[in-house]
Amino acid sequence: MLDCGEGSLGQLSRRFGREALEERLLGLKCVWISHMHADHHLGLLRVLSHRAQAARRAGREGERLTVVGPPPLSKWLRTYASFDQAQYDLVHNARLFPSNEWVGAGCREVLKGLLAEGLGVDVVTVPVKHSCRDACAVIVSDRCAEGETPWKIAYSGDTRPCQSLIDAGRGATLLIHEATLDTPLEEDAKAKQHSTTGEALGVGGRMGAYRTLLTHFSQRYPKVPPLEEVTAHGAAAVAFDFMSVDLADLPSLPSMMAPLARLADEQGWHGLYGEAAE
Ligand SMILES: [Zn+2]
């Protein structure tokens, strides 16, 4: 799970149904947190707590969840999660940087090996440019069997366009990038340390990402952000609540944009509510 904002457990329950929720929680191996803004980490306690309860009921208490996140997450979890006896192992994002002298290559390789063994994927994090200290992006790569085509997913968290993310995510199958504001609002995006639609699409292009999926739209856009630029792009789409995308369907992902744009027009979904906190 990449980021876990407030309401994540409720969203999972609505998406998969109450019956399947426990199974999904027990199947969850790792939660990665990009930074300490509430809309990215506040739902973690409930997910941990409900997962621990589900594990007790299923007699699977020993199966610990790996949580990867910024250093302040340790104290936050120690302060609040102790009441629920949640079972997790915490890894700091900085320990998974592509190169980081103070961590030590040996330690980094051991950690990566453990994650790869437990999750079946390679995980690399990179520092990004956001208004929150220690903000990171993540790149998750498949460790597929010989002869299969490996996939690679890059997720930006919250950031301005960032070269370290472009370098680490080079050739990604899918880039999931924040696009908080529409392209004309670049000055606002700079001030708030977010990206515009145009900037996010530009990152996808420079990275050589096969598909770019935009997310984290400002509350200025009550239903959907302006869709024209993404629709015209041809290799991108916008994400929305409860969206599910099978990687096998990525080739046709951009083709959903034209009908979505038409639906938005018909329903009158566009329109600004004015400034809102991001
Ligand atoms: Zn943020």
257: domain CATH number is 3.60.15.10
Residue 178: both structure tokens together: 């924040």
Centre of ligand 1 to C-alpha 133, Å, is 10
How far, in Å, from the CA of 35 to the mean position of ligand 1?
A: 7
pLDDT of residue 141: 92
- Distance, in Å, from the CA atom of 94 to the CA atom of 91, rounded to the nearest integer, reads 9
Quote the ligand 1 centre to 186 CA distance (angstroms).
16
Residue 155 sits in the same domain as residue 30: no
Q: How far apart are CA 263 and CA 258, in angstroms?
A: 9
**Distance between Cα 76 and ligand 1 center (Å):** 17
Q: Do residues 81 and 168 share a domain? A: no
What separation in Å is there between the alpha carbon of 183 and the centre of ligand 1?
Answer: 19
Residue 186 falls in which region: left (phi positive, over 0), alpha (psi -120 to 50) or beta: alpha
Q: Are residues 137 and 269 in the same domain?
A: yes
Do 83 and 195 share a structural domain? Answer: no
Both 14 and 81 in a single domain?
yes
Label each residue of 53-86 as H, E or C: HHHHHCCCCCCCEEEEECCHHHHHHHHHHHHHCC
Residue located via tokens 């990402």: 209
Place of tokens 């980094």: 108
37: CA distance to ligand 1 center in Å?
A: 5
Q: Where are the alpha helices (DSSP H) in 58-180?
A: 72-80, 105-119, 163-168
- Cα of 128 from ligand 1 centre, angstroms: 11
Q: Residues 89, 77: contact at Cβ < 8 Å?
A: no
Domain match, 15 and 82 both: yes
In angstroms, what is the span from residue 131 Cα to ligand 1's centroid? Answer: 7
42 and 133 both lie in a single domain: no
Between the CA of residue 209 and those of 26, 197, 206, 249, what are the distances in Å?
Answer: 32, 15, 8, 15
- Alpha-carbon gap, residue 1 to 79, rounded angstroms: 22
Report how far ligand 1's centroid is from the alpha carbon of 36 (Å): 7
Tell me how many domains the chain contains. 2
Give residue 226's domain range. Answer: 128-278
Examine the domain organization and report whether 205 and 242 are in the same domain.
yes
Shared domain for 104 and 59, answered yes or no, is: yes
Q: What is the pLDDT of residue 249?
A: 96
- 64 and 154 share one domain: no
In sequence order, the 6+-apart residues with CB closer than 8 A to the CB of 54 are 22, 25, 26
CA of 4 to the centre of ligand 1 (A): 12
Q: Per-residue pLDDT for the chain (278 aa), expressed as one digit of tens each? A: 999 999 999 999 999 998 899 999 999 989 999 999 999 999 999 999 999 889 989 998 878 888 999 999 999 998 887 666 568 888 888 888 887 555 555 666 667 776 777 788 888 999 999 999 899 999 999 887 777 878 999 999 999 999 999 999 999 999 999 999 999 999 999 999 999 999 999 999 999 999 999 999 998 887 888 899 999 999 999 999 999 999 999 999 999 999 999 998 888 887 554 444 34
From 87, 119, 151, the end of a domain falls on 119
Q: Taking ligand 1, which is a single-atom ion, which protein residues have CB atoms under 5 Å away? A: 37, 158
What pLDDT score was predicted for residue 101?
A: 53
Give backbone dihedrals phi and psi of 221, rounded to 5 degrees, phi first. -105, 95
Centre of ligand 1 to C-alpha 130, Å, is: 7
Order of strands, sheet of 65-69, starting from the edge strand that comes earlier in the sequence: 30-32, 65-69, 88-92
Measured in Å, residue 148 CA sits from the centre of ligand 1 at 36
Q: Which of residues 102, 119, 136 is at a domain's end?
A: 119
Q: Same domain for 152 and 236? A: yes
Q: How far is CA 67 from CA 32, 93, 134, in A?
A: 6, 10, 15
Q: Let me know whether 153 and 213 are in one domain.
A: yes
Q: What does the pLDDT read at residue 103?
A: 56
Looking at 98, 119, 140, the residue that finishes a domain is 119
Going from the Cα of 147 to the center of ligand 1, the distance in angstroms, rounded, reads 39
